[in-house]
Amino acid sequence: MTAQTSESFIYKGKRLVGLCSEPLRSYLDKNGIEWQGGCSACWRGYEGSWKVDDDGRLYLYNLQGVHLIIKSDKRAISFNHEIDVSTLFPNKNHVFAEWYSGEVKLVEKIIFEHGDYYHDNYPKIYTLTFENGILIKENLMVNQNLVKGDSIFSRFIKQTISQISQTIFKK
């Protein structure tokens, strides 16, 4: 399965990426808007860039996509050109996400050498809870195993070496 492109976030001055976090989804569903994925790495069909401002308000400030379908009044309007924030929100280049209530999980972008997509590979996971676009709770989880240098891949290597050693020395 192809890893999906992530939404990007700015939180407390840091550039982070979302783990399965799509704050725009509830707005799209409520308004009958569909995107068609342009490639297997982005089935949702768009990439959003978000910022949590100093007052804890969530803003969509950039949006990229190509194939958009708006269903309203029993007709579909299709856009097959590059789409940005102003396509969904006319005359705006950023918008307060007042429609969004839920959790967003954020991590620093990490390039995995071995194809691992597990939470164990992230040194820190920020969980932000929003109500009507306003941050009401934040939690930081520090992955102690990774801090100690014990990722899933390194545990796999240690287990494999241990199993080989046991097999060799049993004879």
Whether 71 and 93 have beta carbons less than 8 Å apart is answered as no
Nearest-angstrom CA–CA distance, 68 and 87 = 10
pTM for this one? 0.71
Sheet hosting strand 95-96, strand order edge to edge: 95-96, 58-65, 46-52, 8-11, 14-18, 102-107, 124-131, 134-142
Confidence of residue 127 (pLDDT cuts 50, 70, 90): very high
pLDDT at 119 (0 to 100) = 45
**125 pLDDT above the threshold of 80:** yes
With a pLDDT cut of 70, the percent of the chain lying above it is 57
| Residue 46, C-beta contacts closer than 8 angstroms, at least 6 positions apart | 24, 35, 63, 64, 65, 68, 83
- DSSP per residue, 109-140: ----SS----GGG-SEEEEEEEETTEEEEEEE
pLDDT at 77 (0 to 100) = 55
**2 pLDDT above the threshold of 70:** no
Between 124 and 103, the higher pLDDT residue: 103
**150 pLDDT above the threshold of 70:** no
- The CA-based angle 15-51-98, given to 5 degrees, is 150
What average pLDDT does this structure show over 47-75? 79
Nearest-angstrom CA–CA distance, 104 and 20 = 8
What average pLDDT does this structure show over 50-71? 83
Q: What are the tens digits of pLDDT across the range 87-111? A: 788 899 899 999 999 999 988 766 5
pLDDT at 87 (0 to 100) = 79
pLDDT at 136 (0 to 100) = 97
Q: Residue 159 has which token pair?
A: 């287990």
Confidence of residue 128 (pLDDT cuts 50, 70, 90): very high
pLDDT at 78 (0 to 100) = 58
